[in-house]
Amino acid sequence: MTEDLKALGIEQSVEFRGETTISVPLAELESVLKKCQSELGYELLHDVSSLDHMGEEPRFEMVYELATLDDSKHLRIKSKVAEDEEVPTACGIWKTANWHEREVYDMMGIKFAGHPQMERILMWEGFPYFPLRKDFPLAGKESEMPDVAFSGIAPLEGGPFVTSPGSTRENGEPRAKGES
């Protein structure tokens, strides 16, 4: 399988537990993805994600998880991306790439060239940060947004389920009132 892709400039290929991981230059990423879908039978794009290697150059790495329809073969494709680079969109190859790429943009700030709807999907428009970057503080950053989650009565207060405060996870699971 990787022999078919060698002509496209694979930098590295690793086999582990029946799955293959290949690394390709960003310039070859789109052609490798197209070949995987059209010629090698990887009909499913399970996931598109990214890694932040803060302190290294290039800083980011894109990761694509592919599979065949019968789930008999899996392929992971990785490609390094610098902070100022755009990644070619995979939306024209797999429609499901749309939401995955929007999430990567929203959480990491990596933009996708040619994406049909490159806008945030989880955070509100105008949010100036990217929460999954390693330089984002764990406690978050100050915001002008009101703290709506704690501004009034809890929406399920007095409802049919209760928990035991201060209990362990196992015995503190929600249960119907009156059950002990």
Q: Which pLDDT score, from 0 to 100, does residue 151 have? A: 54
Q: Which residue has the higher pLDDT, 173 or 92?
A: 92
**Cβ–Cβ < 8 Å for 61, 77:** no
Q: Is residue 106 part of a domain?
A: yes
Domain membership flag for residue 179: no
Residue 165 has a pLDDT of 58
Tell me if 167 is assigned to some domain. no
Average pLDDT over residues 5-11: 71
Question: 97 in a domain, yes or no?
Answer: yes
Look at the chain and report how many structural domains it folds into: 1
CA angle (122, 58, 40) in 5-degree steps? 75
* Model pTM score: 0.76
CATH of the domain at 9: 3.30.460.80
Q: What is the pLDDT of residues 23-77, one digit of tens each?
A: 999 999 999 999 999 999 999 999 999 999 999 999 999 999 999 999 888 999 9
Encode pLDDT of 69-121 as tens digits. Answer: 998 889 999 999 999 999 999 999 999 999 999 999 999 999 999 999 999 99
**172 is a domain residue:** no
Confidence of residue 140 (pLDDT cuts 50, 70, 90): confident
In a domain, 33, yes or no: yes
In which domain, by residue range, is 132 found? 2-142
CB 150 within 8 A of CB 132: no
- Integer-rounded Cα Rg, in Å, for the chain is 22
Query: How far apart are alpha carbons 44 and 66 in whole angstroms?
Result: 6
